[in-house]
Structure 1
Amino acid sequence: MKAPILILKKLPAAGMAIFPFILLKKESYKADKEIINHEKIHLRQQLELLILPFYILYLLNYLFNLVKYKKHDLAYRKIIFEQEAYDNENNLNYLEKRNWFAWLKII
């Protein structure tokens, strides 16, 4: 999947996926294969859920986690979509072998 990459220096994270774009905080991150792979996993998740439902589920999962864990960082890391992306960002072949809705295994 070839996604257009935009550089936004004020981005609150190193990278972010907003279909169909990958947003990066620094130009140098274009060479970071793990960040790019992490964001491509999110793009695939977004496609599976027809984009808008992904964002709704992502936000609801974060809010539930925030109530449960009371810490932003932990709530964010426990989002099911983030868990899949972090667990597989180092596997650069992951998307080639990944099953659809693979994030459901995390629930």
Structure 2
Amino acid sequence: MKIIYSTLLPVKGFRAINLFGIVFARKDQPQLDEHIINHESIHTRQMLELGIIGFYLWYVIEWLIRWIQYKDRYQGYRNIGFEREAYANDNDFSYPKKRRMFTFIGYLKKPV
């Protein structure tokens, strides 16, 4: 996985963002650890399942719905199914290879 350290991406408050399978990390933060890299690897697998455009459309639409639901942008972000799956499994370093397709769907209703 390619990692690019940047002063622009991601926005402040976040350490990394996966855009089209390339991870951008904040230059002013410590280097990414294996848990964050694994988290982003899970997102890459999700992108491959839905296609890049499908993944980002779903992500943004679900984030907007969760923002309204929780009345908080950050809580909305943390409750996106893609994020729930990635956070729940970022300690399991074999997870990206063994996960079943569309596993994130099972995380759509689970509360944080």
1:29 is aligned, of 28, 31, 49, to 31
| Structure 1: gaps of 5 or more residues | none
Q: TM-score, normalised by structure 2?
A: 0.86
Contact 1:29 1:35 in 2 (8 A): no
The residue type paired with residue 34 of structure 1 is H
CA RMSD between the two structures? 1.3
| Structure 2: gaps of 5 or more residues | none
**Deviation at residue 20 of structure 1 after TM alignment:** 2.4
Q: TM-score, normalised by structure 1?
A: 0.90
**Deviation at residue 16 of structure 1 after TM alignment:** 0.8
In the other structure, the counterpart of 2:49 is 48
Q: When the two structures are aligned, how many residues end up with a matched partner?
A: 104
2:7 is aligned, of 2, 6, 9, to 9
* Identity %, equivalent residues: 36
Alignment of 1:1-107 (within 5 A): 3-10=1-8, 11-12=10-11, 13-26=14-27, 28-30=30-32, 32-107=33-108
The runs of at least 4 consecutive aligned structure 1 residues that moved more than 6 Å come to none
